A and B are shown apart, each in its own frame.
Chain A
Amino acid sequence: MKVTDIVKALDLKVFSGEGGLDRDVSGGYVSDLLSDVMGNADTGQVWLTLQTHKNVMAIASLKDLAAVILVGGHKPDENTAMQSNEEDIPVLGTNLPAFDICGKLYELIYNT
């Protein structure tokens, strides 16, 4: 499954990093604690968070994540979007709260 498939199926907004929409997705990880993501997320996962600052992209890039989904209507800071474009790691968005979007994403990745 590609990031673009998730965008279409879950009707996500693409804020930035369009160049990375064809990245392969291996799974997902949900956390707003950066060290938790650093220590426990894995390559190719989609990261769901409400953190919007630039350090999110530093972590996404260091961990080779497939994309970031900002939950609950959050929008990326300007320099977050800029780094997302430079790294070709998409920042996506949804108005749904974390629980709801996680449920849908889980269903999509593991049961379709």
Chain B
Amino acid sequence: MAEESKQERKVCLRGTNLTKRFGFGRSQMVAVDHVDFQFYESEIISIVGESGSGKTTLAKMLLGLISSSDGDIYFQEQKRDIRSQKKKKEYWKNIQAIFQDPFSSYNTFIKIDEVLLDCINMRGGKKLPHAKKVELMTEACSFVNLKFAELTNKYPFELSGGQMQRLMIARIFLLKPKILIADEPTSMIDACSRATILDMLLALRKETGMTLIFITHDIGLAYFVSDSVYIMERGKFVESGTADSVILHAKEAYTKRLINDVPKIHEEWDLSTV
């Protein structure tokens, strides 16, 4: 992307020197190690790295679920302030996440209607007439090809993995956050359902203009969906740029190895390099 147009775009989320340490003394480890980034409005970003590289830890800091040990986060160019519960709630209207394991994401004892009603309430729709709420929930469900009428009075654990994943997207449809973080959203489902979930997320992003951050170790997925790709190795960003520049013209040995390790269809997969 040309420099001029990059400057026109508004920065949505920025991090400087962001760091997370766990533990103390000799057992201390740096899970996220002084990373810098800027994510733009409506941009699709992927953060790619191996298991344990610090991706989920970074996501949790961005979401304000854990505190950072060092560095700052700026939301819409203002230093993020989530020191009070009220401010935290306000921040969560803007940033939301869906996680790898859909089963762990819901409170088992809350019915699906309530899960969705909560979203409407969070968006300030508490006082809406009941019929209007049902209309909103029905619309959200049909966006992800679920039938609201069949879901009322059910509990999340009564759904299949794929249905549950789609219910999460229906929640996002109602919440309309400015930023959505998707942490390995498709690693537990087959290729076809993966295409469906991706289609839905991309359609939602088109409709709301939200910034979409994929966290994944699937470098093919990152290449397919993203504008920008960040490669993470042991807590650090070792390479970043447009998807084409990072994946097709990788400079770092680590990135090259990740790409080389993915099985290909049209190119020979070199097994001699492990």
Q: Are A and B part of the same complex?
A: no
Question: Taking beta carbons and an 8 Å cutoff, which residues of B are in contact with A?
Answer: none
Question: Taking beta carbons and an 8 Å cutoff, which residues of A are in contact with B?
Answer: none
